[in-house]
Each structure stands twice: as C-alpha cells, then as structure tokens.
Structure 1
Amino acid sequence: MEITKSDIIKLIEVEQVDTFGTHLLNIMKWNLGPAGMVSSREIKVWRQNSWNQMFYPIFKFELDKNGHLINISDKINPAGKIIYFLFCVIFSIPWLSWVFNDFDPIIHWVEILGWVIFLGIFLLVGFKIYQMEKKIQLEQIYEILDMESENNNPEEEWSWKKILTRLIMYPLCVFLIAITFFFLMPTGKIIYMLLTLGIVGVYLYTDLKILLRKKTTGNNT
C-alpha cells in the first residue's frame, strides 16, 4: 500500500515552521498536539508527550515527484538539543568547580573520573529516552497510516554488544554512587548528589524495565 502526501498531512493538527523558536515556544507552552510543516517534497511532523516534553523527535517524510512516501527519518528538535547541552554543562559544574580555584588534575583525579562516568551515563540515559520516545511515536504513526513496521525483528537485548555495555555500565553506576556518598555528601553538595543518584537511577530503571518487558513478551509468545 502506497502512502500519499494527503495521508501524511492528516497526522498534523497545527501547521508550524520547523525553527528553534517554534520548538522552544512549544516546550514552554506544553503544546501536546501533533504539529508539522508541509513542503512540496517533504513533510515534517512532531509531537510532545506529557512525560517527554523537551526531547521529542521530528519525523521527516520524504516524497517522490508523485507525492508518494519513500523514506522516513528522524532527529531531535533543535530546542531540545540545546537544552540537553545546557543540562550537560550545568550538571558538570559540581564535578569541575575545582578548575577555577586549584587547577591540578592530578590531585582532583577522582572528580575528573566521576565527571567522565556521570557524563557518559547522562548521555546514555538521554539516548535511551529519545530512542524509546521515537519507537513509541513511530508505532503510532505506522498504526495511523496503516503501515507495516520496518523493524519486524525485535532488538536482541542479550547480544554481545548489549552484554558488554552492561558489564561496563553497571559497575560504573556502582562506582558513581560510591563517589556521590564519599565526595559529594561530605562536601555538602546534597542537591548535586540527588541529581547524580537520579540520573543513575533513571538509567538502571530504564534498562531493567526494557529487560523485564522483553522477558514478559518472550514468555507470552
């Protein structure tokens, strides 16, 4: 079944332009309705969810000269990308604040190591959240357009790549938790300690939730 331009336009309730200012206003106003931008050979569609209002994807539907769908791609919205970068900078401050007072990396190797681990986990959490959001929205789009999913084979969570990632990330999470209690807590940085534990907790919760969901799905098939 060929998907036409008119079919895709039905996904859009409000027509907007794809700019940084537009997405920033959407985030500030909590506009949860589907929006998009229509051009001759390309249609962009985006939508916020109540649990993920900043880092939502923009789906680009590419059309041939006859107005038939030939490809779907995605990217994070520009406002969400900038906000995420600012979060990385802000959350790095407690780990690197010593730079302005005593620039001696050898003495502060624990803070540097903690920062690297924290930033790595923070980036991985953001990637997982974005991938989950993209998957949910793509499934909704396929259902509305009556399309067959391009990925019929479920992702293998026990591949060597995933196992190696967990063998690295889980001990690093434990190490980061230890640093928060032995470094951040004694220095009175309770807020940053809670933020760090929150990021680690989100990663572990998200990963375990995916594993349990895959296991439940496998048992039901």
Structure 2
Amino acid sequence: MEPQHQQIRKKQAFAGYVSIAGALSMLIGAAFWAASGTDLWQAIADSQMEDYLSNLDSVRHLLVINTFFWILGVILLATAGTLMAEFCDSRPALAQMGMVFMRTACSIAIVSFIAMLALAFHHQSLAAASLTGWVGARLDDIATMMLIGYGPLCLSISGVREWVPRWLNTWGLLAGLAGLIGLIGLLTGTVILGFIIIPFGIGWMIAAGLVLIKRSKMR
C-alpha cells in the first residue's frame, strides 16, 4: 500500500496542476471574449443593448469558444479549491467555507455564461434581452467575487500554518479585498471595479498551484 505522505504529495501536485489549468482556461476564454469586441457590462451601463445585440451574430463563434473555456475554467478552479481545503488542518471550518464559496460560484457562473451566450442565439425583444443580459452579467459578477475573491481569502487564512506561505496569504487577503471592491462596483454600477479582482484572484490561483507543486516535490 502506498505511504500516506506519498498520497498527499500526489494530491498536492494534482491540485496545483488543476488550479493552474483552471486559471489558464479562464484567461484563454477571456482572450476570445476580448477578440469578439463585445462588452455586455459596458452595454448595460451605457444603455446600448441594441447596438450590442446587433454585433453578436458575426462573433457568436468566438463567444461559444469563450463560454466553453470559461465553463471548463470554473469547474477546474472549484475542483482545485475543494482539494486545497483538504490541506488546511488548523482551521478546517474556514477552509470548508472557502470550498463552499468556490463550489457555489461554479454553479452560478455556468448559469450566467449560458444566459449571456443565449443572447447570441435567441432573438428576443429589446426589453427581454436587456433583462437576460443584466441577470447574466450580475450573476457572473457575484460568481467571480466568490470564486477568486472570497474562496482564496478563506483558503489563504485557513492554510497559512500548513501549506500557504506568508506572501501567498497576503495575496489572498488582497484577493478578498478586491472581492469587496467588486461588491461596491456591483452596488454602484461602476463597471471597472468589478474587473479589479481578476489579476488578484486568477494570479492567486496560479501562485497557489505553483506552491502546491513545489511542496509535492519536497523530500
């Protein structure tokens, strides 16, 4: 039977690779979204939904690829968060909270992605499309704050005595703070505030993945 420490190392390595893969998948999806030249959030903020809808037909193939990578990304990130929670023995309750944040965010995000993609395939009245777009964008904002903001915050605090180094703990605190700033953006309708979390949260997932891979190779 394989020694327990070997099993832990393999699980740490797997969690690390999954975390990095999830973050990269989100970035690839974001690249296709940017290539489409469409911005639902700005269209809602500027009351330009009619112009937004008129541009969707020509770029729907990019949005399909974007949605695929984003769905894959959130599943991988939630899986990584679940595995990371298992390495936090000193504060297991807080680690479980982080896991719940990330799992719940994954489900919310998938619904939001499908809702936003539906605008490119199902022609609706302007009022109906505006409502669908608003719901999709707001759900995405909420899921983002939970998945790469509050989840990493809880994992950073709960894992600081086991596998999270101080610098990664600080990074996690910044991701959590960025999540709170995103909440302010959601309440005030300030679009740019909702995007501040992305470099902190995605960066934390990549950094945490590298830390776990490194720990898995320690003797």
- In the superposition, the TM-score normalised over structure 1's length comes to 0.36
Larger helix percent: 2
Q: Give the greater-gyration-radius structure (CA).
A: 1
* Larger RCO (alpha carbons 8 Å, 6+ apart): 2
